[in-house]
Amino acid sequence: MIDSIIAGWNLGAPGIAAVALGVPGYGVLAAVIYSLIHGSGLRMIWAKGRADNQGFDRAFCGGATLVGFAGIFFAILIFVFAESIVLVCGGDLVDPSTLHNAVLYLMFCSPIVFLTAFGMILQEVMNVLGYQTERAVLGGINVAVNLTVSVF
């Protein structure tokens, strides 16, 4: 939502079209990472419920490693194949400048996949360890900062 607002304000309809072309490629790969994160979180919850601290540590380390490698792999995949991904998502139907902007948008999203993966695995740990209030406060701060950046 924020990306569309910023693109719309600065580039108009072609900017919104560029974001719309980049989002599916980013979203599919991010969804795969999110499923790995939530699977690791479930494994951590299961271990904590059995008071198995060693199992919790294994689930966290394994999940963080898997998510880290998947994040790096997908970030590189997006960065290298950004133009092909945008073309698959309908980039051949737009003018060249919109296509170029969509490719740039997707390339700039590639490190976000990696950074979001680590942020989410840490959120899962906070959730499992009972820090729901702190997690909610951090989520609220995140939303407030994103809205502030998009408005100003």
| Domain positions in the chain | 2-151
Please tell me the predicted confidence (pLDDT) of residue 145. Answer: 79
CA-based torsion, 66, 70, 71, 73: positive or negative: positive
Question: Between 89 and 1, whose confidence is greater?
Answer: 89
Backbone angles phi, psi at 26, to 5 degrees: -70, -45
CA distance 83 to 125: 36
Please tell me the predicted confidence (pLDDT) of residue 89. Answer: 85
CA distance 99 to 82: 11
pLDDT confidence tier of residue 24, bands split at 50, 70 and 90: confident
| pLDDT above 80 (res 116) | no
pTM: 0.71
| pLDDT above 90 (res 137) | no
